[in-house]
Structure 1
Amino acid sequence: MTESPAQPSVSGRFRRLRPASVRPTWWPLPAGILLGAACGFSYGMLATPQYTATSYAMVTAGKSVDPAAALGYAQSYGRLATSDATLSYAKGAAGEPVRELRTHVLSETSPDSPMIAVTGTSDDPDRAADIANAVTEAVVVSSGHVAKDTGVKLIKFSHAVPPGDPASPSVPLGAAVGASAGGLVGGLVLLVRPRPGRRDTTAPVPAPAQGGAAAPADEKELVG
């Protein structure tokens, strides 16, 4: 006489059919967007607006100098614009010590034009223009001391004026940039996190009915 297998309980069946989790797998993406937007919005609200003003100087070559040499001298004077010697000369007109002035001035040059751009940055638009003009004037005066030896002359091409709008990002722009960065981080988290393994979804085998149901052929042979 054979024993019938034990029937699984109703609670066991529901436990196997119940989903493991109701949390969506893509939740890092919207979470990163919301967190990034909140950070960008907070930065735009709390950060002090920064203003930038730019003045320009241009290198001109003398009659006995190859005009192409002006490009090389422009690169050199562009690097000298932020040197300690130039900033020491400009600190009086700029109204800041050399250590502070070094963090508020930037010089840029172009490989295609003998032009030097000096940019001053400050939380006050008038001070930003004063910094740019003072540093440009300092590098122009310094180049004049060696103009006879180099054969080139640095002249002031454009005067910096106080800007009307800050260069720092506004609140909407900060929120948009933060949301974009947060979305990028959330997407990277989705790509690099480990994938969950597949769960066994095989349905339980129902127990044989009680009564006169016929048994399978192989089971009949074992009983016989």
Structure 2
Amino acid sequence: MDLRDYLRIFHKNWILIALCALVGVAVAAVFSLMATPKYKAETELYVSVRAGDTAATTDLVQGTSFARQAVTSYVSVVDSASVLDRVIKELKLDTTPGALAAKVSAESPLNTVLIDITVTDDDPQRAADIANSVGKNTSYIVTNKLENAQGGASLVNVQTIQPATTPTRPSSPNVPINVLLGLLVGLGVGILASFLRSILDTRIHNAHDIEQVTDRPILGAVSFDPSAKKRPLIVHADPRNPRAESFRSLRTNLQFVNIGGPRSYVITSSVPGEGKSTTAANLAISLAETGARVALIDGDLRLPKVAEYMGIEGAVGLTDVLIGRAELTDVLQKWGRGQLYVLPAGAIPPNPSELLGSAVMANLINDLTSEFDFVLVDAPPLLLVTDAAVISKLTGGAILAAASGRTKKNELAAAVRALDHIDSRLVGVVVTMLPVKGPDSYGYGVYGYGVQNEIVDDEVSDHRVRRAAQA
């Protein structure tokens, strides 16, 4: 994956990432609001060693050194039972030394004779009282119990140099920090979920996904149009529509992929619903716009759609020619003002694969290829039946339609393998149903000058199709 792949994942899943971040912030805020506030009170003790009036400088240095060594032991005395028992009795607390020890912590800064005592409690005044009492009783235990040699005066002196005051603000929960952590955790979860979603998503979305399956070129890209079923012949119904221009780009690319070879192609897909029939019809119309002689054959003898899309009578067609019941010149219908001729499927036979793989079909393709500049055959999906694979051996190659967000990578790979196994040529791939917005969208330039987003009424489009079919 390169930088563009990461950016595409972020762009595609930004709503998920933002939602996870908001959830993280909300959870952190609710937790902070529901948590019981805790207050910290701190006091500081100073440990020293007494020396007599006649003490030498060496004695003072030795006393200070002893205090530094002993202070680490005195830290452990702070939360001992002997100290906390006296604190509980003094303040009349309803608790045990073990429970109180969980609220008391002590430490000594490095190379000092100081002891910092911190008490955490949900009552600010009680926290200060406990801290001062702990400091006072630690001093008592050290000087009167631990360092009182033979009942005399203790040489160690522990005194409070910073008494605890009542805290005015809670130490926890720290709402800003919690919200920031919630935001970071939410972003992390959202990004992780986005990558998992991208890894687990096996559908084709863009050119990069297709390049992972096959090295054949991408001949064209057609955006998704929710009204495609109502006006499938977009090149004829709305010539200035960006989708119409995309079929013209497909036409241009196709004119250069098989220079010198037979310009007959079977147009198919991996599975149903990928737009192969509309691609074949619109490509045929766009080729005819250049003045080329084009023959469009409906080779889908199982679920024919070309006659319906082109607005012509389809009761008699390819099937009748293959079984010898009709002549090609009698059923080949001229469409539009150009040199486009359509051969509908005719009646649905019980043995489509046998008819399409027959010598008669091969002769028919050869005759049309010699007479027309382009021959396009709309065939059934490759993974359902063998019809398209059979026809591809009779033509110059196959063009695969792959629907963005619908076709799975393994389906496209299986379709490519099906063609490779019979040594059939895959001319290229046409990506259909690309989203018009988002990281997987396909950018279209404005066709023509001025505002070209013409809205064609469905009835007008149907009328144009019928008129072109009758011309």
Give the TM-score of the pair, scaled to structure 1: 0.72
Q: 2:37 aligns with which of 37, 46, 49?
A: 49
**Pairing 1:147–2:147 present:** yes
Letter in 2 for 1:131: I
CA drift of 1:156 comes to 1.5
1:144 deviation in Å? Answer: 0.7
Partner of 1:73: 70
Q: Is the 8 A contact 1:55 1:119 kept in 2?
A: yes
5+ residue gaps, structure 2: 1-10, 52-58, 203-207, 212-217, 221-253, 255-264, 268-293, 296-367, 375-394, 397-471
- The one of 201, 209, 213 aligned to 2:372: 213
- Cα distance in structure 2, aligned partners of 1:192 and 1:86: 55
Query: Could you say if the C-alpha distance between residues 165 and 123 of structure 1 is closer, same or farther in structure 2, counting changes exceeding 3 Å?
Result: same
Aligned pair in 2 of structure 1 residues 137, 38: CA closer, same or farther (>3 Å)? same
Identity %: 24
Write the distance in 1 (CA, Å) between the matches of 2:49 and 2:195: 57
Please point out which of 29, 37, 53 is paired with 2:25: 37
Shift of 1:171: 4.1
* 1:189–1:93 CA distance, 2 compared to 1 (3 A): farther
Q: Is the 8 A contact 1:147 1:153 kept in 2?
A: no
Root-mean-square deviation (Å): 3.3
In structure 2, the partner of 1:84 is 81
Return 148-157 or 161-170, whichever deviates more: 148-157
Asked whether the equivalents of residues 132 and 160 of structure 1 are also in contact (C-alpha less than 8 Å), the reply is yes
SS of the aligned residue for 1:67 comes to: helix
Mean Cα deviation higher: 156-165 or 166-175: 166-175
The equivalent residue for 1:116 is 115
Equivalent residue number for residue 210 of structure 2: 200
Q: Which consecutive unaligned segments of at least 5 residues does structure 1 have?
A: 1-22
Structure number with greater CO (CA < 8 Å, separation at least 6) is 1
Q: Which amino acid aligns with 1:154?
A: V
What letter is aligned with 2:209?
R
Q: Distance in 2 between matches of 1:106 and 1:128?
A: 12
Give the TM-score of the pair, scaled to structure 2. 0.37
How far off is 1:89 after superposition?
Answer: 2.0
Give the match's secondary structure for 2:67.
Answer: helix
Name the residue aligned to 1:126: 125
Which stretch of structure 1 is more off in the superposition, 133-142 or 165-174? Answer: 165-174
**Which amino acid letter does the alignment assign opposite residue 200 of structure 1?**
I
Distance 1:62 1:81 in 2: 21
Q: How many angstroms apart in 1 are the aligned matches of 2:187 and 2:266? A: 51
Larger mean CA deviation between 23-32 and 86-95 belongs to 23-32
Q: Which amino acid aligns with 1:110?
A: P
Taking the aligned partners of 1:214 and 1:133, their CA distance within structure 2 comes to: 101
Query: Could you tell which deviates more after superposition, 133-142 or 28-37?
Result: 28-37
